[in-house]
Structure 1
Amino acid sequence: MHGSMPKPKPNRRKKRPSLGRRLGRSAFVMRLAAFLIGSYIGFVRRTSRFDEDGPGLARLLESWNGGAPMIMAFWHGRLLMMARFRKGPTLRRIHVLISNHADGEIIARSIEGLGMSTVRGSSRKGGYAAMRELHQVIEAGGHAAFTPDGPSGPCMHAKGGTIAAASMGGIPVFPVTFSARRGPVLNSWDRFLLATPFNRGLYLVGEPFTVPPDLDETAFEQWRQRLEDDLNALTHEADRRMGRPRVEPPPPRVRGARR
């Protein structure tokens, strides 16, 4: 009986990342990108007029000006100008949850350059540690900020992290958004609004709500849906007042459906 000789395995060399990918991970490139983004946001804010309105504005400003901790929630597509909602020492008290991927690193550096603090993690990676850190921030009197549809969507569909954080400490959640008269909505997963300089803009603050502790699955979903509905209604209203067409969320994914 003749045994067959095993075929030698081909000597496969590990594929080297492309130049673009290597540059994207470069600390220098990240610092440069963060500087350019922060400079752009500051230039838009300085050359534009942004009004503030909404049923929750007065209560949010109470917390902003030294009051009790709060949670701000806004869609990822409206992230651009939220870092310059207001100036002052309160900015450093606001801790924004940012994901751990490379894009998140650039966003984090940009936000920190504008005066806010960041906490790293997401619903996928580092989520538990990030939530624990945010809880400690809130217990120490700080504020938290979430993009409930981040870091990768679906667009304008809230995940549960904001509600989970709010229920841990009985902290009021403020739905917040911005819109601007001029600037494109990018064809990105989050339908990102890129406000342009020399603009007219609007910050809208929705009615805050407080999430009770120890929620069962049904109650948790009701609060999550409320946040999603409030943010979508607020965003549609801000766009309407700025004369922009509505940005609609995609239909929810059906479980078991093929992508």
Structure 2
Amino acid sequence: MRLTKRLLDAPATRRTLAFLSFLYVRLVERTTRFEIDDSRLRALDADGQGGIATFWHGRMMLLHRAWTPRPRRFHMMISNHRDGALISEAIRHMRVETVGADKRTGGLNAIRQATKLVRQGEWIGITPDGPKGPRMHARGGAIKLAQLTGRPILPVSIGASKVRFLGSWDRFMLAFPFGRAEIRYGAPVHVPRHADGATLERCRRQLESEMNRLTRELDVAFGHPPIAPEPGPAPERLDSAGPQARPGAGDSAPKHRVARS
């Protein structure tokens, strides 16, 4: 285990693994038939003021397609954890920019960067249960970012026909080539700028519930046993004093248009 960690810490090894991961994801993307109803995304992006997208850590493999073509520029909030560094290297090949926490200020620095970007009209992607879980429980980074910027949170999830759910903490969905996939966007969550602690907690629970609903429905639609949230301690309650120091990161039209590729 120590040898594996040392190898992953080596920049050359990390770059190689990241590039190989990128090539595999691109292979799966090119051979998968996607169904994407992006009407909610387009409606929120119509004013050009940016927004926040959330998806579970275990569903990030093919969600690059959720932003193709992207609304404005899309950034991912990534932790400074070892896995986060590998993910950052991989998604840069997909031309997705990253916002990272530094060792001195941690998540507070990342949320400051993200706030600035959203206020400039960009989109930020956050995995509220990352980088270590508990699985499918939302922490407060996205909620605080929405409060600070006044922009909505758009829950997103994905399901696919040919997959294997790994035994990792997040039950990572590894997709295989030549299958089908569907991306769904949930009901946006709006967080009042002057919300008190009870309102912030209600918004957090609403976000978590909507993300789990999307994920459960997609698993059932593709004939997989639904992945359940991990039993564990409840996330820290939010207050209205300011941004949390540990944000989760990896912490309409009359008729919907359905795009297939």
Alignment TM-score, normalising by the size of structure 1? 0.84
| Contact persistence 2:49–2:119 (CA under 8 A) | no
Aligned to 1:71: 52
Aligned ranges 1:131-210 → 2 under 5 Å? 131-210=111-190
Q: Is the contact between residue 91 and residue 115 of structure 1 (CA under 8 Å) also seen in structure 2?
A: no
What does residue 12 of structure 1 align with? none
Q: Extract unaligned runs of 5+ from structure 1.
A: 1-16
* Aligned AA (2:32): S
Matched, 1:21 2:43: no
Greater RCO between the two (CA within 8 Å, min separation 6)?
2
Take 2:105 and 2:159, find their aligned partners in 1: how far apart are those partners? 30
Contact (CA 8 Å) 1:182, 1:196: kept in 2 or not? yes
Alignment length, in residue pairs?
Answer: 235
- Post-superposition shift, 1:24? 1.3
Residue identity matched to 1:226: Q
| 2:42 match | 61
Please report how far the alpha carbon of residue 52 of structure 1 lies from its aligned counterpart in structure 2 after TM superposition.
Answer: 1.1
Is the deviation greater in 216-225 or in 145-154? 216-225
Change (3 A) 1:254 1:46: closer
Once the two structures are aligned, what percentage of the paired residues are identical?
A: 39
Residue 85 in 1 paired to residue 66 in 2? Answer: yes
Report if aligned partners of 2:34, 2:183 keep a CA contact under 8 Å in 1: yes
The higher radius of gyration belongs to 1
The alignment's TM-score, normalised by the length of structure 2, stands at: 0.84
Q: Give the counterpart letter for 1:33 in structure 2.
A: L
SS in 2 for 1:114: coil
Gaps of 5+ in 2: 236-261
Between the aligned partners of 1:217 and 1:62, the Cα distance in structure 2 is 29
Alpha-carbon distance in 1 for matches of 2:3, 2:210:
43
Superposition RMSD in Å: 2.2
- The one of 195, 218, 238 equivalent to 1:238 is 218
The aligned residue for residue 198 of structure 2 is 218
How big is the shift at 1:103?
A: 1.1
Is 1:113 the counterpart of 2:93? The answer is yes
